[in-house]
Structure 1
Amino acid sequence: MNLKILGCGDAFCSGGKFNSAFFFSTSHINFLLECGATTLLALKKHRIPTHSIDAVIISHFHGDHFGGLIFLLLEEKKNKREKPLYIVSPIGMDDKLKAAADLFYPGSDILSDLNIIYKFYGAHQQLDLGSLVIKTFPVIHSPDTLPHGVRMEVDGVTIAYSGDTEWTEEIIPLSDEADLFICECNFYSTESAGHLSYKVLSNKDLNCKRLLLTHLGEEMLHLKADIQYEVAEDGKEYIISGIK
């Protein structure tokens, strides 16, 4: 499995980083994890064709995590995409995309003729996309955004992702023995509802095989030299393999 980080920034693009978006390519399926507002720009910057994306997984309804989806669909409408696109999200994405299309491009009918297959989830559910299995975990963030962490299994590799959240015991089973756990860490020591801090996370005993911090705010970026964990960077590539 290959991972290209298209964006690992927070809602404010702190440090000049793009909004959250992670592109995974595997032998069976290519998928985006998150599709923040800057995602189409990042895809084009890194010359990743949008038609290569088979699925998009969204953790919650904040614009820096799903706000780029309508622009991705606009691109695929222009390209006359015919193959299906799975959109995996909390309940209500179809209505939100219709509202976004009407707001940003009234009269354009972006969603017509696109073969979108919505897969909605709630807490502690499993979704099967054939070669890709997704498990969901409720986390603690702005309740109206329906926040979740997601655990993805494909090609013998397990990827866990926290979404946006403060500490919750759900993170333990979410990340357990994951080959890669991508975890938000917005703050260094500041306590803020709905987000993790490095101070809190570094005192937790996680059982993942590799931990990658994302969604860093200005405080974290300023103290980056003091961080003992691996930190995501826009444009960085990873090869991830499972341990049999």
Structure 2
Amino acid sequence: MGELTVTIIGCGDAFTSGGQLHTCFSIKAPHTNLLIDCGATAYCGIKKQGIKIDDIDTIVISHFHGDHYGGVPFLLLEEAVRNREKPLTIISPPTGKERITRLLDQLYPGSNVLNKLNLIFKNYRIDGVLQADHLEIAAFPVEHAVDTLPHGLRLGVAGKIISFTGDTGWTPMLIELARDADLFICECNYYHSEVKGHMNYETLLAYDDQLLYKQLLLTHLGDEMIRHRDQIRHPCAHDGLNVVL
């Protein structure tokens, strides 16, 4: 199948705690290159990591909070200025095209970006697996702000399974997301505080024996997690980290 590399472009929380950029993961596989999320500050990270925007085939959005999709307008604007002809697929919960259109109208009124690009918008299939080019996506509703249409994602790419919780508190849905995942990227915003819509590390530990992943990476760490870093026994993401599967 060939080598697959996951690059952590950004793994910070909404407040970029610890100086980490907003959520964005790059997946480079033999026949496709994609992004999972593209938060407001992540576009800078894409440039820092030397990723060519024209190489990106697909952007997958977990939910509609700015630290997860706020960077998409800037990426699209540059591609429009560069006269990109290559198709770009954006996969998201429903209303993705409408929300991105509104963002562009607010940030760059009159730019007409979407009409200058060969964009394909797709929505998740809640009742099954979405097939895209060299990619399969199963999406699972999770426990976060309802208006953001939050989803956990299970991606089949180049013979590997990469799962991402998105932003969520504990839900049994995570057991299915994690099962046999070659890489399970799990949000863990807090260490012990119980905040609706977010995971804490003590809860993760309580359910860890039910999460049958092959490899785990914690992301979206807030200040509380950073203060307790010496007590965390699971691997934590950091900007620029490469995971080869």
The TM-score, its normalising length taken from structure 2, stands at: 0.96
Q: Is the Cα–Cα contact under 8 Å of residues 5 and 242 in structure 2 kept in the other structure? A: yes
Give 1:98 deviation, angstroms: 1.2
**Mapped partners of 1:62, 1:116: distance in 2:** 21
The range that moved more, 163-172 or 127-136, is 127-136
Question: Which of 89, 92, 96 is the matching residue for 1:89?
Answer: 92
**Mapped partners of 2:127, 2:23: distance in 1:** 23
Q: Is the Cα–Cα contact under 8 Å of residues 138 and 147 in structure 1 kept in the other structure? A: yes
Q: Deviations over 1:27-71 (max 9, x none)?
A: 010000010001221111111110010000000000000000000
Q: Deviations over 1:150-201 (max 9, x none)?
A: 0000111000000000000000011101000000000000001000000000
Amino acid in the other structure paired with 2:191 = Y
Question: Which of 227, 230, 242 is the matching residue for 1:225?
Answer: 230
Q: Is the Cα–Cα contact under 8 Å of residues 151 and 160 in structure 1 kept in the other structure? A: yes
Is 1:237 aligned with 2:239?
no
Q: Secondary structure at the match of 1:99?
A: helix
- What pairs up with 1:14-53 in 2 under 5 angstroms? 14-53=17-56
Question: Which of 164, 173, 177 is the matching residue for 1:174?
Answer: 177
- What pairs up with 1:77-226 in 2 under 5 angstroms? 77-204=80-207, 205=209, 206-226=211-231
Instruction: Give ranges in structure 2 of 5+ residues lacking alignment.
Output: none
Q: Secondary structure at the match of 2:114?
A: coil
Match of 2:69 in 1: 66
Instruction: Give ranges in structure 1 of 5+ residues lacking alignment.
Output: none
Q: Deviations over 1:101-132 (max 9, x none)?
A: 11111111111120110111253431101311
Match of 2:60 in 1: 57
The range that moved more, 32-41 or 211-220, is 32-41
Q: Secondary structure at the match of 1:24?
A: strand
**Mapped partners of 1:130, 1:47: distance in 2:** 23
Structure 1 stretches of 4+ with a deviation exceeding 6 A read none
Give the alignment's Cα RMSD to 1 decimal.
Answer: 0.8
The TM-score, its normalising length taken from structure 1, stands at: 0.97
Q: Is the Cα–Cα contact under 8 Å of residues 91 and 122 in structure 1 kept in the other structure? A: no
